[in-house]
């Protein structure tokens, strides 16, 4: 356990120095400041139409949406690099010569990247909340934000796993592109089949519906998880069985990780 | 007791036979040299020993399968070109190694100071890895071997990148570690140095073990260089 913790901390140290993280954090803070300044400038006009608090709430939602997209981008970049960079710099044989299993190594690298990504997300959301609340003079948002953040965290964990897996099997740029494509396909499949009964899903099966059904059944449903998070953020009603969706997500994520581990375990380092 | 035991180990890369039914035994506390010309399969064997690559046959470290992480307890490895995260200081690298070997607190600080002193790199303590020369990086890698009470030290071409002073220092260090009862497994093709520090030798060629035994058995009345040359050339014919 101690060695796992060391490796986890090593991953956080490694990713924390990423120039991409610094750049995206700067851009995020700039976007937050810009939107906040815009809100202050427009507040008198907007206030008359939707009320100052309503404007702040709307802005918060927009900002969190933007931050979520940046977070997904970071998750893809960090995921691709988290194991690939060890192999490229020839550090992996050294790390593997310690008494740690490949399972621990893989878990430490993925979890460490996820912690960094979520720290960025949390930092950006808190900054946005503080600035907007101070502009408006009262606290915007509420506990529902935590719920939305939980679902974003889940969704990003699987994005990191997919990109780490693809990063090991193809060049970096290709892996970045492929992760984006896979994410779009999975999300699209989830949205296409969302809320449908099994009989409805399997009726009139053509090539594309079969592909969509395959992704929807055997892959973690990122699209559904994002959708739940979005609905919580917008305080809309959720017309899905959350327990079933979370159960499916947990099971398929574990399955994906074990397939990843199995292939990684057979790989030459 | 045999601390490393390999039985009938084979490894192919496509049509190329990197290892062909190799069997080796390394006794605890010995200094073992795995010798061979380039492409003989030395590095493939070291990688197999560390569980970095899969091969057929059976390799055991400390009586355990190499894929069992406990087999690597008390093992330190120095690759041919040592490299670590560039943002780590020399002290940071040693601390990471020490912690991985179970050291902590004052024991860790003491080990770091001793390792730095043994390799004459105390003044580099705070220097980042990417600011070191090739020789200094290699010395840092060697210092890592001293972190913790490692029973097995695996060194892959340890003399490469070292200047004559570094080579002399390394020979002294290896002899000191050998005297402490540690098992030292060295993969090299610098025969003159190996003759001075190793007591067990195996010579590989094209994935086959041509000979294995004590240094005196292998070289007989010849120098190790002559014995090696005759064996490898004879095998080529």
Nearest by CB to A99, which of B70, B82, B85?
B70
CB contact (8 A) between residue A97 and residue B154: yes
**Three-state SS letters, chain A:** CHHHHHHHHHHHHHHHCCHHHHHHHHHHHHHHHHHHHHHHHHHHHHHHHHCHHHHHHHHHHHHHHHHHHHHHHHHHHHHHHHHHHHHHCCCHHHHHCCCCCHHHHHHHHHHHHHHHHHHHHHHHHHHHHHHHHHHHCCCCCCCHHHHHHHHHHHHHHHHHHHHHHHHHHCCHHHHHHHHHHHHHHHHHHHHHHCCCCHHHHHCCCCHHHHHHHHHHHHCCCHHHHHHHHHHHHCCCCCCCCHHHHHHHHHHHHHHHHHHHHHHHHCCCC
Name the residue ranges covered by the structural domains of chain A: 2-265
Q: What is the pLDDT along chain B (237 residues), one digit of tens a residue?
A: 789 999 999 999 888 889 999 999 999 999 999 999 888 899 999 999 999 999 999 999 999 999 999 999 999 999 988 888 888 999 999 999 999 988 988 999 999 999 999 888 999 999 999 999 888 898 899 999 999 889 999 999 888 777 888 888 888 889 989 999 999 999 988 888 888 899 999 999 988 899 999 999 888 888 888 888 888 888 777
Q: Which residue of B has its CA nearest to A266?
A: B54
Which residue of B100, B141, B157, B187 is the best one to mutate when testing the A interface, meaning the one whose CB has the most A CBs within 10 A? B100
- Which domains are present in chain B? 2-74+151-236 (3.40.50.300), 86-149 (no CATH)
pLDDT tens digit sequence for A120-164: 999 988 888 888 777 766 666 677 788 888 999 999 999 999 999
Which value does ipTM take for this structure? 0.90
């Amino acid at each position: 356990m101690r060695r796992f913790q060391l490796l986890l901390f090593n991953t956080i140290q490694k990713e924390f120095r990423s120039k991409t993280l610094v750049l995206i954090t700067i851009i995020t803070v700039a976007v937050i400041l810009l939107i906040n300044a815009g809100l202050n400038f427009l507040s008198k006009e907007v206030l008359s139409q939707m009320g100052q608090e309503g404007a702040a709430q709307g802005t918060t939602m927009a900002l969190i949406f933007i931050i979520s997209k940046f977070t997904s981008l970071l998750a893809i970049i960090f995921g691709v690099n988290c194991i690939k960079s060890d192999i490229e710099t020839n550090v992996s044989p050294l790390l593997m010569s310690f008494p740690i299993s490949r399972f621990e190594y893989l878990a430490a690298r993925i979890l460490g990247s996820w912690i960094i990504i979520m720290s960025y997300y949390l930092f950006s959301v808190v900054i946005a909340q503080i600035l907007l609340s101070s502009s408006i003079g009262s606290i915007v948002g509420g506990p529902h934000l935590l719920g939305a953040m939980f679902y974003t965290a889940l969704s990003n964990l699987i994005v990191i796993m997919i990109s780490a897996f693809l990063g090991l099997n193809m060049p970096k740029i290709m892996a970045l592109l492929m992760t984006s494509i896979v994410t779009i396909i999975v999300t699209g499949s989830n949205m296409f089949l969302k809320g449908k009964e099994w009989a409805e899903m399997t009726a009139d099966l053509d090539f594309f519906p079969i592909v969509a059904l395959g992704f929807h059944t055997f892959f973690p449903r990122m699209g559904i998880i994002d959708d739940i998070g979005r609905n919580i953020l917008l305080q809309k009603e959720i017309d899905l069985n959350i327990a079933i969706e979370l159960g499916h997500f947990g099971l398929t994520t574990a399955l994906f990780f074990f397939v990843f581990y199995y292939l990684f375990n057979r790989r030459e380092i | 007791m045999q601390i490393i035991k390999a039985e009938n180990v084979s490894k192919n890369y496509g049509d190329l036979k990197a290892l062909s039914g190799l069997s080796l035994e390394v006794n605890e506390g010995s200094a073992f040299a795995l010798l061979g010309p380039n492409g003989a399969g030395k590095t493939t064997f070291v990688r197999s020993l560390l569980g970095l690559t899969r091969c057929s046959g059976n390799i055991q470290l400390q009586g355990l399968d190499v894929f069992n992480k406990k087999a690597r307890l008390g093992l330190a490895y120095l690759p041919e070109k040592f490299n670590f995260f560039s943002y780590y200081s020399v002290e940071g690298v040693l601390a990471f190694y020490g912690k991985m070997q179970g050291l902590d607190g004052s024991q860790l600080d003491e080990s770091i100071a001793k390792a730095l002193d043994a390799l004459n790199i105390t003044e580099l303590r705070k220097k980042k890895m990417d600011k070191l020369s090739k020789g200094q990086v290699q010395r840092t890698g060697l210092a890592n071997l001293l972190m913790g009470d490692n029973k097995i030290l695996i060194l892959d071409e340890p003399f490469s990148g070292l200047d004559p002073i570094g080579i002399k220092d390394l020979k002294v260090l290896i002899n000191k570690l050998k005297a402490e009862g540690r098992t030292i497994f060295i993969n090299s093709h610098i025969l003159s140095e190996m003759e001075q520090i190793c007591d067990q030798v195996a010579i590989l060629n094209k994935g086959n073990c041509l000979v294995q035994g004590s240094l005196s058995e292998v070289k007989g009345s010849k120098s190790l260089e002559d014995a090696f040359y005759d064996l490898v050339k004879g095998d080529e014919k």
